[in-house]
Amino acid sequence: MKCIAIDDEPLALKKLTGYIEKTPFLELVKACHSPLEAIDTLVAESVDLVFVDINMPDLNGLDFVKSLTNKPIIIFTTAYSEYALDGFKVGALDYLLKPFSYNDFLQSVNKALRQYELVHGAKDEIDTDNVIFVKSGYKTIRLNVNDITYIESQNEYVRIYLENDKPVMTLLSMKSLEERLPIDRFMRVHRSYIVNLAKITEISRNRIVYGKDVYIPVGDQYKERFYQYLDKCSLK
């Protein structure tokens, strides 16, 4: 889906466009700093989805959406929850309350994708729960999350270890990966490690064992949650 993002706050716009760019079924047409700039883009380009802040100078997001004759799918992004009802009254599909995570964003755009497919006919849908795309050097690599064994932080980079394949290095934060990966299958167990819970071979002396040679420590601040998971899964 082709989309535009509208926000007068540069940092909020940068975060939003970053989420768009790493979502495989979205194509960013333009990042706009005002609704007036977006109107010119909508005249020149075919756009399927608009992300728009509500509280902006000159022309607010609600009035901007009301002014559109051929409305794309609308998702409002704002820090003010009191605008939610007004947003739905003008036909918005969804409402993202700042600050929102990539998981929140993904739930919203999956809803937009389903609506888009109802109108335009279903296409092959990328399974966003089981696929991620990461940049490694000059390449963008598609990874099946079920193939990930564990992830290790290495200064500014992370190394993603895969089952039956070589590791992938990428310039991402552990926090962004932690937010993106399914929480029922992956867990942060250390400042430097995220693990695939289904791939654990054994736990020994506060270390997670993968195969014969990999031992991952469980950090003090992560022990309670990890051992609660173990207790829940253990036979008694």
- Residue 231 in tokens: 């207790």
CATH number of this structure's domain 2-120: 3.40.50.2300
pLDDT of residue 167: 93
pTM exceeding the 0.75 threshold for the entire prediction: no
CB 91 within 8 A of CB 68: no
**Secondary-structure percent of the chain, ordered helix, strand, coil, rounded to 5:** 35, 35, 30
Q: What is the pLDDT of residues 194-211, one digit of tens each?
A: 999 988 889 988 899 887
Rounded Cα–Cα distance for residues 47 and 102 (Å): 22
Assign 192 a pLDDT band (cuts: 50, 70, 90).
Answer: very high
Domain boundaries, the chain: 2-120, 131-233
Q: In CATH, which superfamily holds the domain spanning 131-233?
A: LytTr DNA-binding domain (2.40.50.1020)
